[in-house]
Structure 1
Amino acid sequence: MAEMDSWDEKLKAEYKEQQARRYNISHYVKGEKQQAKEEGEQKAKMEMALKMLRKKMSDPDILEIAGITPEQLDEIKRGKNK
């Protein structure tokens, strides 16, 4: 960074702009990875709940163990997640 002091203003501005772009891209990618992870976890929960339904487990047990909402359980029962 000390080297940057000798750069002209245009070069400094370009460098800062590149750094900002890298920062934004990095955060975007992290956000995409986090979203994919959350979607995967949600899919696993729904698949687990479906298996529990097939085993004739009670709704309260499914909700508690799978960690899904009553609305999500209703979706599974309606066949939207098979």
Structure 2
Amino acid sequence: MTDRPVEELTFEEALAELEGVVTRLERGDVALDDSIALYERGAKLRKRCQDKLAEAEEKVSKITVGDGGQPAGTTPFDAG
């Protein structure tokens, strides 16, 4: 767990820290007070990740949806 404010973390940083929080809580070897603090931090990290994903989705929507809500300028996805 870092001391950096959650609001300053990138999506990737928040997700990695959230995974660490979940791992520590699942192990069950953390004192009760520490578990509560971890849970609270985890809740903030989860919200940060959700907010960043929603922000990215909105940006992509603006790029790919034209006037009137019709798709504009899209090309098929090629994972190859």
| TM-score bracket for this pair, using the shorter chain length | 0.3 to 0.5
The structure with the largest helix share of the pair is: 1
TM-score, normalised with respect to structure 1 = 0.46
TM-score normalised by the chain length of structure 2: 0.47
